[in-house]
A and B are shown apart, each in its own frame.
Chain A
Amino acid sequence: MDFSIAALLAQDGITNGAIYALLALALVLVFTVTRVVWVPSGEFVAWGTLTLAGLQTGRAPDTVKLLCGMAAIAGLMEIWGCVRRGQARRLPRRLLLWTGAPVVIALLVGALAPMQLPFAVQVLLTLALVTAVGPLLYRIAYQPLAEASVLVLLIVSVAVHFTMVGLGLWFFGPEGSRTPPFSSASFAIGDVHVSVQSLLVIATSFSLIAALALFFGRTLYGKALRATAVNRAGARLVGIPPDFAGALTFALGALLCAFSGVLIGPITTVYYDSGFLVGLKGFVGAIIGGLASYPIAAAGALLVGLIESFSSFWASAFKEVIVFTLIIPVLLWRSLTTTHHEEDE
């Protein structure tokens, strides 16, 4: 291996790592607020790419139908909830939010899809569509179980992952897709070619990471969201509605993942089931950060990207093995530095 190959691998690794970092961020975000280990995050990535690819061909993806279906279910759940608790007055607003808004987004995307709009608009439509699935998913699958243990929520996540992979196959078919890059320009520094797309990916990831770290560390609203994770009842008592916090977090998480999907589309071919491995690589990063720290999780995800890129050069067949075995020394280190007086949940 000479320097230019190493530089190329490093560039690849950092670019992929930046995308994993976005995912790690979404995972830490969702976990700290809702205690949900968000296994299906990867499916949101894949849906992001595949929805955009669908829009490229001028066809409204089936995600539109799914969104309408989920909106209908969420609406029924709201009606049932309001009737049971005798809060009929709140119903119109809630229906507008849970059923009206997603249906409007779905119709909008459905109407605009065949018009072959500029790329940037297609990206926006993709983000709107996939992001809207996040809070609906929370409302339908997780909110009724919000008080359950981390383990129950984890099993729900795995079940949702199964469902979304199956739906992905149904919606997008077994063929993989690629999406066009934002920019195909590149320039050379010495022997090394640097693509503008890579720089763009890295820059976006890191500005988002910084923004989120600021939001949760410095603003009252961010702190309020974190408080919900620790104690839902307590948060409600001090005026933070935990269900709203959960839905908002899932929207943010879905946005981050869909965005990762748009970024990863030009780099690699994405299939309906590609998301799981991508998401799990984000996980390895998030676990390095203890599912709690944004900067460490981002650094961990970068490390994952670099290790992946270099191991694909030396032992490409064992790339996945190496990346996922990395979790073992990390857990070993965590287990040796954590006292074992902690109470199980």
Chain B
Amino acid sequence: MMRLPWSTIAFAAFVGVLAAVPMIAPEFWVTLGNYIGLYSIVALGLVLLTGVAGQTSFGQAAFVGLGAYTTALLTTTYGTSPWFALAVGMLITAAVALFLGFITLRMRGHYFPLATIAWGISLFYVFGNIEMLGGHTGMSGIPALTIFGVELKSEHRYYYLIWGIALGALWATNNLLDSRPGRAIRALKGGLEMAEAFGVDAARLKIVTFVYAALLACISGWLYAHLQRFVNPTPFGINQGIEYLFMAVVGGAGSVWGAVLGATMITLLKQVLQDLLPWLLGRSGNFELVVFGILMVLLLQFARDGLWPWLARLLPRRAPKAVAPAEPLSTRSRSPYTGPLLDVRKARKQFGGLVAVNDLSFEIRQGEILGLIGPNGAGKSTTFSLISGALMLTSGDIVFRGSSIGGAAPYEIARRGIGRTFQHVKLIPQMTVLDNVALGAYLRGGTGVVRAALNLDAAEEARTRSEAARTIERVGLADHTFEPAGSLPLGKQRIVEIARALAADPMLLLLDEPAAGLRYLEKQELAKLLRALRADGMTVLLVEHDMDFVMGLTDRLVVMDFGEKLAEGLPAAIQENPSVLEAYLGGVV
């Protein structure tokens, strides 16, 4: 007998209860259920935007309003079909979100949420002051929806439409999170530097996420308009926008189920408080806001990840999806090239008056491990950042396989075939080792957000997972494939970083102090892995200050001190070089 996995049973039970509500529960609960469904759709967008991508929006209610008002205007004044109005509403919403996202999402975190507050308020007043939209009294007479000849006039019937769409949105968002773009979106929160080093165009992806969330809000608004058959500006104001955000945060913005949980909790709590508080205080008003505010502060102080993770802990863990063998991902074409793989030409970096790297020149030859060493503050890490594109050159150039990469963005450098690791490990701790490594293969896939959301990426996803699993095996971590990356010891996390870089199929591997903080045996393991990679033809640039580690491993060394090249040559010769000894040991021993 086949045993169904736990998660499937739980999901079936949820859908069963959901479907039964209109048949057995009183009218009041159906109405509440309708609202919870509508709110869940908006909160789902916020889960992706805020919980996963790390961008906070207070203005989602305005997008709900765009969807509602577009259909209200088109179906009443112009008599068009509601479905046509939905398409128009989504087009308008996408255009507005693209524009707002383009101007605000390229900047640091706090401008975007502030812009969403301003935008939420402006649109509220626009709705309230345009006569064609009925001003503050609103518009009525919106027709009911008709599907396959069935008119959805009763709340009971409408309930199934709302929850059908809500479950669809849940399914699509879940697919999206577990895909090529989803891994990249999850990487955004951990800092853009890491995501961009694997070819993710972070600014573009953030905007796409915002548009996705706005479109969900717009659909919810469209549903709302045809449910109420009446719209006025009140439900689209900034307070409602803030409430949507609260739903996502209370539920747990890290998971799609957090959206449904949050929407349910806030809706029910509001019901209870609206009955209870006026009775307690002896007067009426929006007093539930006081309680909401206090609960929110407490929640952020004591359970910042929301309620879903608490609930999820009670459910048994889902068994990991096994990796099926699949065709490898295509590798990059390696046209023969005889010159130096990387040529650093008089690279210079100044921070104000400080010259961190002073006209440094060296080259990396095909198939070698080159060590870049020097005492603390010599400019090694700055040089590393110049090559990887994290910092801009002040002057000079860096040439990779004959073409310049000086001044190119990190994702462009990744595209050319340079992989890197980070001095301070930058993995996504909650994500499995497999998913972390699969993120490295981002540029070798092509699935976009739409294909991913509709689950049309199965073939490519299977190839990516099998490629990632193979890479993990190659670096010797096969036993840890399905563990969260954050649970591994530092030495293994460093190796996961190398695997992630390898998954991109690079021609040059840049390693930033890979031995820092490792124990002796871990260093031995690391050296063994790097030798094996060299034997396979990989070229490696190793930035280190641990002399012992580089001596037995590298083919050549470049020594830096005070931003300049002090010496260059074979490890044995460097070891005898008097000026290197002086720089390291501060004088004649």
Tell me whether A and B are bound partners: yes
Which of B125, B245, B304 counts the most A-chain CB atoms under 10 A from its CB? B125
CA of A151 to CA of B199, assembled, Å: 26
Contact A280 B111 (CB under 8 A): no
Residues in A lying within 8 Å of B, measured CB to CB: 37, 39, 141, 144-145, 148-152, 154-156, 158-167, 169-170, 174, 277, 280, 283-284, 287, 291, 317-318, 320-321, 324-325, 327-328, 331-332, 334-335, 338, 340-345
Contact B121 A160 (CB under 8 A): no
Contact B115 A291 (CB under 8 A): no
Instruction: Please tell me which one of the listed residues B104, B107, B193, B296 contacts residue A156 in the complex, with CB atoms under 8 A apart.
Output: B296
CB contacts (< 8 Å) of A335 on chain B: these are: 102-104, 106-107, 111
CA of A277 to CA of B118, assembled, Å: 10
What would 12 more interface pairs be, CB under 8 Å, given A151-B110, A155-B296, A166-B289? A158-B245, A158-B296, A159-B297, A162-B242, A163-B294, A169-B285, A170-B285, A174-B285, A280-B118, A321-B122, A331-B103, A335-B107
Q: Which 9 A-B pairs have the closest CB atoms?
A: A163-B293, A166-B290, A159-B296, A162-B293, A166-B289, A317-B129, A324-B122, A324-B118, A159-B293
Contact A284 B118 (CB under 8 A): yes
Given A158-B242, A338-B107, A344-B108, residue A167 in contact with residue B290 (CB < 8 A): yes
Report the nearest A residue to B115, measured CB to CB.
A331
B interface, how many residues as a size bin? 35 or more
CA of A327 to CA of B116, assembled, Å: 10
CA of A327 to CA of B111, assembled, Å: 10
Instruction: Give the shortest distance, in Å, between B186 (CB) and chain A (any CB).
Output: 14
CB contacts (< 8 Å) of B56 on chain A: these are: 151, 154-155
Q: Is B287 an interface residue (CB 8 A)?
A: yes
CB contacts (< 8 Å) of A164 on chain B: these are: 293
CA of A325 to CA of B119, assembled, Å: 7
17 contacts across the A-B interface (CB closer than 8 A): A37-B110, A148-B304, A155-B300, A156-B300, A159-B300, A160-B297, A165-B286, A166-B287, A169-B285, A169-B287, A280-B118, A324-B118, A325-B122, A328-B118, A335-B107, A344-B54, A344-B191
CA of A187 to CA of B81, assembled, Å: 63
Report the nearest A residue to B203, measured CB to CB.
A340
Instruction: Please tell me which one of the listed residues A149, A160, A320 contacts residue B293 in the complex, with CB atoms under 8 A apart.
Output: A160
CA of A150 to CA of B114, assembled, Å: 12
CA of A68 to CA of B567, assembled, Å: 70
Instruction: Give the shortest distance, in Å, between A331 (CB) and chain B (any CB).
Output: 5
CB contacts (< 8 Å) of B117 on chain A: these are: 39, 280, 283
CA of A174 to CA of B284, assembled, Å: 10
Residues in B lying within 8 Å of A, measured CB to CB: 54, 56, 58, 100, 102-104, 106-111, 113-115, 117-119, 121-122, 125-126, 129, 188-189, 191-193, 203, 239, 242, 245-246, 249, 281, 283, 285-290, 292-294, 296-297, 300-301, 304, 390-392
CB contacts (< 8 Å) of B192 on chain A: these are: 343-344
Contact A165 B300 (CB under 8 A): no
CB contacts (< 8 Å) of B104 on chain A: these are: 331, 335
CB contacts (< 8 Å) of A144 on chain B: these are: 301
CB contacts (< 8 Å) of A287 on chain B: these are: 111, 114
Report the nearest A residue to B113, measured CB to CB.
A154
Which of A141, A291, A324, A334 counts the most B-chain CB atoms under 10 A from its CB? A324
CB contacts (< 8 Å) of B296 on chain A: these are: 155-156, 158-159, 162
Contact B286 A340 (CB under 8 A): no
Report the nearest A residue to B126, measured CB to CB.
A321
CB contacts (< 8 Å) of A166 on chain B: these are: 285-290, 293
Report the nearest B residue to A333, measured CB to CB.
B103
Report the nearest A residue to B117, measured CB to CB.
A280
Contact A162 B285 (CB under 8 A): no
CB contacts (< 8 Å) of B122 on chain A: these are: 320-321, 324-325
CB contacts (< 8 Å) of B391 on chain A: these are: 341
Instruction: Give the shortest distance, in Å, between B423 (CB) and chain A (any CB).
Output: 14
CB contacts (< 8 Å) of A345 on chain B: these are: 108-109
Report the nearest A residue to B287, measured CB to CB.
A166
CA of A156 to CA of B106, assembled, Å: 24
CA of A299 to CA of B300, assembled, Å: 35
Report the nearest B residue to A143, measured CB to CB.
B301
CA of A331 to CA of B301, assembled, Å: 31
Contact B290 A342 (CB under 8 A): no
Instruction: Give the shortest distance, in Å, between B165 (CB) and chain A (any CB).
Output: 28
CB contacts (< 8 Å) of B189 on chain A: these are: 344
CA of A149 to CA of B108, assembled, Å: 12
Instruction: Give the shortest distance, in Å, between A253 (CB) and chain B (any CB).
Output: 17
CA of A281 to CA of B382, assembled, Å: 42
CB contacts (< 8 Å) of B239 on chain A: these are: 162
